[in-house]
Amino acid sequence: MLLFLYNRASAQCRLITGSTSNFAIVIPDASYSNAATLFQNVVNKATGFKMNIKQGNVSCTNCVAIGTQTDFKEDPVINKASLNSDGIIMDIKKSRISLVSKSADRLEYPVVEFLKKYLNANVFDTTGVKVNRVANLTVANTTTVYNPPFLSRDLYYKNGFDESFMDWNEINHIWATKDSKWGNFVHTAYQFIDVPKYFKSNPEYFALVNQKRSTTQLCYSNDDVYQIVLKNLRDKIRNAPDKKIWSFSQLDNNNVCQCDKCQATEKRLGTRGGPLFEFVNRLAKDNPDVSISTLAYGFSAPPPSPDKFKLASNVVIVFCVTQGNKGRDIATDASFGDMRKWLTGWLGQTRKIIIWDYIVNFSHLLMPYPNFQSIAQSLQYYKSLGIKEIFLQGNIQKGGEFADLRCYVASQLLWNPDADVNKLIKQYADYAYGPASADVQQLLGNLINNGRQTDINHYYAPDRLSTSLFSPDKMDNYYGNLDNSLKKVPKNSRYYDNLMQIRLDFDYTNVEIQRTNKKQRDPQKLNKAILELQKYSNTNTSVNENNKTLKDYINDSKKADKN
């Protein structure tokens, strides 16, 4: 929620005049120094003036006061504002700017938001803070209160683990942090049982699939399995007392046990995940001092019947959005019908839900995937449901289509789902493509509009889109746009390199269509496309989630050409 408590537009705070200032940065004690130094460094970079940092009372004059809400107990405006754990206040008066967080470990948030808003400072990637030089900085007197709707904003992108990027884009990972309260991640069932040992001695502990025991899953109805898992879970809890959330979740497949007990539970609870959910509920009730997490994913996505099953209060559900057209709005499009129904059902059982959403094409990381508006619409939908924790799975590998752009846009939307996507794209495009920014924005606009007219998903191949998003006429249009863009920037510039990365994405898509569509394959076109792709053969990038390199892909494409 963004709230302007007061707007004193007629009054102003003159923070910097002629590259100098009589303001100082004031913090209550040395533990606040990181936030103060951040403000000092960026203002110095923008204006050439280095403000002093002092320790003292935040009820100061001619100061930028940085602190938590409790530090400002003497200020009635700040003190009465309602903040969630990540909430911020920017209170600007003529002689004092107050940058306030709810908690001490979020002090950078109000500082960063002030610097973004009033100095246009930003961190777009892993190359640090970008800010333009100014001689003067005058801001209108106003009080802004903002409570981000999501308290966990996890972005699984390579840039998303850069410390500066995380600070400036308010990323706080759920699992991948040194102080995480989680003891493990997902797909964890086999962390609690010795599979080789017990499959040999007790195959009945494992899933019965087509009348044969298989290690695809455990038999979640077997009480001996439960006792083994319970003992090993308790050992882990005892050995890591700082970890308060433990995942027990299925393996990454849908080959569940078909024994009589499991099938009876499925029928009774109305979901193939029934045996797993009863198993998890027992773990939660037998370990009341920790939370037990499990996945609503694949066979376990549909929730159990609420009149037959009540989820334990210390169970956390990780709901995975595996279905739907990623070019459209999850809130309204028919392709997301099951996702909406199942998520609503889970919300009837618990509010402890983490959304796990997929924002790249994992099989084809270089194929353009125009889902920018859909990311915003999805986050707006989750916000409307009151969900507080989001994990967006992007591309952790190096490279990928529009990787830095999507990482930046997604991070901004996690902080504010109602932000203008086109404005965010423009901010990044101006930075990354310079004189060709407008052309790239037009290219992205065409991709997004064309994407809405077809069906895109996080595992579709380019060939599936060869008559729609990547039809010959549309590909000609994309390439024409890129040719014009490249003419506007100097070679050997970062703008040129960034544009060539976009061209790589289309060249890869072109080769993949020619390589896999045997009915439409034209050997001459395939050979030409491969020659174009060879320009990037030394690029250290992956073409899929299995880390297949571009060089290996080119070699495989050459073999396909010969066949």
| Same domain flag for 138 and 279 | no
Mean pLDDT for the stretch of residues 372-388: 98
Which tokens belong to 340?
């909406």
pLDDT digits (tens, 9 = 90+) for 302-353: 999 999 999 999 999 999 999 999 999 999 999 999 999 999 999 999 999 9
Confidence of residue 164 (pLDDT cuts 50, 70, 90): very high
The token duo for 478 is 């994309």
Residue 515 has what pLDDT? 87
The pLDDT value given to residue 2 = 53
Band (pLDDT 50/70/90 cuts) for residue 216 is very high
| Residue 380 belongs to a domain | yes
Residues 203 and 346 in one domain: yes
Looking at the domain assignment, is residue 171 inside a domain?
no
Is residue 207 predicted with pLDDT exceeding 90?
yes
Per-residue pLDDT at 497: 94
With cut-offs at 50, 70 and 90, classify the pLDDT of residue 56.
very high
Give the sign of the dihedral formed by CA 442, CA 444, CA 447, CA 451. negative
Report the pLDDT value the prediction gives residue 504, as an integer from 0 to 100: 95
Backbone angles phi, psi at 539, to 5 degrees: -70, 130
pLDDT band at 365, cuts 50/70/90? very high
* Strand ranges in 279-378 using DSSP code E only, listed in sequence order: 291-296, 315-321, 353-358
Q: Is the pLDDT of residue 4 over 90?
A: no
pLDDT of residue 562: 63
Lowest mean pLDDT, pick from 49-63, 304-318, 501-515, 528-542: 528-542
Domain end marker among 97, 114, 147: 147
What pLDDT digit, counting tens, does each position of 5-36 carry? 545 445 899 999 999 999 999 999 999 999 99
Is residue 182 a part of any domain in this protein? no
In a domain, 176, yes or no: no
Burial, 475: exposed, middle or buried (Cβ in 10 Å; 0-12, 13-18, 19+)?
middle
Q: What is the separation of C-alpha 247 from the centre of its chain, rounded to a whole number of angstroms?
A: 20
Return d(Cα 510, Cα 495) in angstroms, integer: 23
In a domain, 131, yes or no: yes
Place of tokens 């970008």: 130
- The structure tokens listed for 13 are 């705070």
Any domain includes 449: yes
Same domain, 19 and 88: yes
Domain boundary among 358, 390, 421: 421
Residue 518 lies in a domain: yes
The amino acid present at 466, given as its one-letter code, is S
Contact 350, 344 (CB under 8 A): no
| 456 and 411 within one domain | no
Q: Are residues 440 and 407 in the same domain?
A: no
Q: What is the pLDDT of residue 561?
A: 59
Nearby residues of 247 by Cβ (< 8 Å), 6 or more positions away: 182, 183, 184, 185, 186, 188, 292, 293, 294, 318
| Domain identity same for 211 and 141 | no
83-119: pLDDT as tens digits: 999 999 999 999 999 999 999 999 999 999 999 999 9
Instruction: Tell me: do 89 and 112 sit in the same domain.
Output: yes
The token pair that represents 466 in the structure block? 């060869």
> 253-262 as b/e, with b when 16 or more CB fall inside 10 Å?
eeebbbbeeb
For residue 143, the cross-strand partners are 6, 91
Residues 232 and 109 in one domain: no
User: Could you tell me whether strands 291-296 and 245-247 are parallel, antiparallel, or unpaired per DSSP bridges?
Assistant: parallel
Structure tokens at 28: 């209550």
Q: Decide: 79 and 57 in contact? Cβ < 8 Å.
A: no
User: Are residues 471 and 508 located together in one domain of the fold?
Assistant: yes
Structure confidence at residue 522 (pLDDT): 77
End-of-domain residue from the set 97, 120, 147: 147
Contacts 24+ apart (CB under 8 A), 428-435: 428/124, 428/404, 429/405, 431/122, 431/124, 431/130, 432/124, 432/404, 432/405, 432/494, 432/495, 432/498, 433/485, 433/489, 433/495, 433/498, 433/499, 434/489, 434/493, 434/495, 435/488, 435/489, 435/495
Closest to 453 measured CA to CA, from 474, 431, 422, 481: 474
Are 554 and 537 spatial neighbours (Cβ–Cβ below 8 Å)? yes
Instruction: Give whole-number Cα distances, 63 to 16, 58, 388, in Å.
Output: 12, 8, 35
Strands 88-92 and 212-218: unpaired
The CA-based dihedral angle spanning residues 411, 412, 413, 414, taken in that order and rounded to the nearest 10 degrees: 50
Q: Which residue has the tokens 């909406």?
A: 340
The enclosing domain of 78 has a CATH number of: 3.30.379.10
- Going across the sheet that includes 88-92, the strands are 2-16, 137-146, 88-92, 96-101, 63-68, 24-27, 53-55
Q: Are 10 and 4 in contact (CB under 8 A)?
A: no
Count of domains forming the chain: 3
Contact 330, 336 (CB under 8 A): yes
In this prediction, residues 170-186 reach a mean pLDDT of: 92
Residues 404 and 440 in one domain: no
| Residue 183 located in a structural domain | no
Q: What predicted TM-score, i.e. pTM, was given to this entire model?
A: 0.95
User: Which amino acid does the sequence have at 420?
Assistant: D
**Domain identity same for 334 and 441:** no
Beta strand pairing call for 206-209 and 212-218:
antiparallel
Q: pLDDT (tens digit, 9 = 90+) per residue, 431-487?
A: 999 999 999 999 999 999 999 999 999 999 999 999 999 999 999 999 999 999 999
Specify the 3-state DSSP secondary structure of 162.
coil
Closest by alpha carbon to 486, among 443, 533, 452? 443
From the list 249, 270, 292, 266, the residue with the least C-alpha distance to 208 is 266
The alpha carbon dihedral of 464, 467, 469, 470 has a sign of: positive
pLDDT at residue 518 is higher than 90: no
Closest CA to 400 of 488, 502, 317: 502
Share of the chain above pLDDT 70, in %: 97
The answer to whether residues 483 and 417 belong to one domain is no
The predicted structure's pLDDT at residue 68: 98
| pLDDT at res. 1 | 53
Q: Is the pLDDT at 560 greater than 70, yes or no?
A: no
Could you give the CA distance from residue 518 to residue 563 in angstroms, rounded to a whole number?
11
DSSP string, 254-293: -----SHHHHHHHHHHTSTTHHHHHHHHHHHHH-TTSEEE
% of the chain beyond a pLDDT of 90 = 88
Which DSSP state fits 130? B
Amino acid identity, position 387: I
Range of the domain at 494: 434-562
CA dihedral 188, 193, 197, 203 (to 10 degrees): -90
